[in-house]
Structure 1
Amino acid sequence: MTRRRDTTQPVDTVKEITENVKQKRRLERKKRRHRILKRIFTLIVVVSVIVGLYLFDQSEYSKIKNIEIKGNKNIPTEYLLENFELNEGDRLINGLWTQVFGSYKAPGVANSKLNMYYTKGNITLTVEEFPVVAYISGKHTKILLSDNALLSNSAYTSNLVPRLVGFTDEMIHQYPDFSDKLSRMDNASFNSISEIHIMNEPLEDIYFKLIMNNGYFVYTNVDNLLLMNYYSEIVSGIQTGNKPENRCIYFLDYGHTPDNQSAISKPCEE
């Protein structure tokens, strides 16, 4: 008995394959159209945003109308505005660039934060100052900050930091360790200093006389300035020693340890 050949199965298979191919092509075309439409939509959105920002930037509403400085207690506002990259009348978009990608930097400023109020055209710059460690009085009062910034401030009246006598701007800039070490001095010793005078000492590049508010005088160079952290111990040793009348203290080039003498006291010369 012979078996009859079924000729319908190959035909059905061919039709099925053909239909699958057509369906895949339709799906690919649909995906391609979707990608193209998505890209066109994205491009329209980007262009619209750019055009909108440009039109806003060209309008009067985009200009900076007011710049407010906050947080400065000792640094004059005029100085901060002069060192600010933005000015009234500039475009707000410039402030946005500074807010996102930059920061305010100026001598005497430790940190800063910029806030923008677009609807009002206002910019607020909040600064954190480095601490004031000394001041120079005279025709133009100047303040010395811990980052070695020396700034004019005729309104400065605080007596909580030492007054510098005989100092020049060049001396301050030449010895940045001076302001740094004043800032790292312990509060009790620092608050005991009334004035710091420049002294003529041939063996030293720069030499100081510290006038203390309890009647003592301290002589030191920049390297030994932080021995002031042991000032109370040194004074206590003088007062309990055999020469309590000695009020002039000279710091030595030795570290302060139980085995090393860090200072000597002598009678003050008139």
Structure 2
Amino acid sequence: MRKENVVSIEERIPKLKQHRKKKANRRLIFLLALFLLMILSVIYFQSPLSHVKNIEVKGNELVPVETIISESKIKQGMNVWSVNKKETAERLNKLPEIKNAQVKMSFPNSFVIEVDELGKKAYLLKDNKFQIILENGKVLNKGTDSIPVDAPLLRGFKEDKALKKMISELGELPKEVQHLISEINLTPKKTDQYHLTLFMNDGYEVSATIRTFSEKMEHYPSIVSQLDPSQKGVIDLEVGSYFRSYESEEAESDAEPESDAAEEGEGDVGDESEG
């Protein structure tokens, strides 16, 4: 029993040699792989593959591509690994038009800049320029000479709390109602410093106030649907919902003081629709 359990040195030596050989082979393969990796890294960093080739910008409308690339500080030819994506995004977020920016690397040597801009809510007539007003109420120091058609034009406003309140109210309106508005004029009265006169794209005029603007204007489409489209006039939304046709106003101005013509053509929306 004892002799059977004894393993001779001669029998163990081949196994030890084989084990050491395998271990040496593994170490050699590891060193060769590491050396090859280092060689490839040197080749990569010295080759054009490690230099920025393309810079793509997505999501921009208000800010030109050239401005975004310039502010990002990413330049063609610079090493791709020298670009700090987080710091680049933070620089772009400082632009007044940008809400959020993301910078992504597109392997092997391109970058994609995705921006989410603040919405354009209106234009302000200032210094004979139509300047863009963003959804946060900020007025951009750039504008256009041509009359804008993609957002309402604001007249009579200054860069104060009334403007910010107006933009806030405008932002609460459904898109389809916003697109119906051509101009919003601030026309203060003794009883209401926030009184508004609106001119709509469908030919109607609206009398309203900033205080209840979004609440009242939300019902504009249903109000107009009750009116005769051939008879234009003023829709008064200050207190209730009243309609005065331009024809009745002309008749009122031509009538005698004792005449009852002033009562014609006036009434709430329901009465007008029945006529």
**TM, length-normalised to structure 1:** 0.59
**SS of residue matched to 2:242:** strand
**SS of residue matched to 2:204:** coil
Among 225, 234, 238, the alignment partner of 2:223 is 234
**2: CA distance between counterparts of 1:208 and 1:17?**
106
Range with greater deviation from structure 2 (31-40 or 198-207)? 198-207
**2: CA distance between counterparts of 1:179 and 1:31?**
76
Confirm or deny that 1:11 pairs with 2:17.
no
**2: CA distance between counterparts of 1:28 and 1:203?**
99
Q: Which residue of 2 aligns with 1:62?
A: 51
Among 8, 29, 36, the alignment partner of 2:27 is 36
**2: CA distance between counterparts of 1:48 and 1:69?**
34
For residues 203-214 of structure 1, the aligned pairs below 5 Å read 208-213=196-201, 214=203
Q: Would the alpha carbon gap of residues 168 and 123 (structure 1) be closer, same or farther in structure 2, given more than 3 Å must change?
A: farther
Q: Which residue of 1 aligns with 2:264?
A: none
**SS of residue matched to 2:20:** helix
**SS of residue matched to 1:51:** helix
Among 69, 72, 82, the alignment partner of 1:85 is 72
Q: Would the alpha carbon gap of residues 28 and 54 (structure 1) be closer, same or farther in structure 2, given more than 3 Å must change?
A: same
Q: Which residue of 1 aligns with 2:242?
A: 265
Residue 14 (structure 1) shift: 0.7
Among 22, 39, 47, the alignment partner of 1:48 is 39
**1: CA distance between counterparts of 2:162 and 2:19?**
75
Give the RMSD, CA atoms, in angstroms. 4.9
For residues 1-270 of structure 1, the aligned pairs below 5 Å read 10-15=2-7, 19=11, 23=15, 25-26=16-17, 28-30=19-21, 32-56=23-47, 62=51, 72-77=60-65, 79-82=67-70, 84-88=71-75, 91-93=78-80, 98=85, 105=93, 106-109=95-98, 125=113, 129=117, 131-139=119-127, 140-146=129-135, 150-155=139-144, 157=146, 158-171=148-161, 174-175=164-165, 178-179=166-167, 182-183=170-171, 185-200=173-188, 208-213=196-201, 214-221=203-210, 224-236=213-225, 239=227, 247-251=234-238, 263-265=240-242
**SS of residue matched to 1:37:** helix
Work out the number of aligned pairs and report it: 238
Q: Would the alpha carbon gap of residues 138 and 98 (structure 1) be closer, same or farther in structure 2, given more than 3 Å must change?
A: same
Q: Which runs of 5+ in 2 are unaligned?
A: 254-275
Range with greater deviation from structure 2 (222-231 or 107-116)? 107-116
**2: CA distance between counterparts of 1:102 and 1:247?**
49
**1: CA distance between counterparts of 2:121 and 2:98?**
14
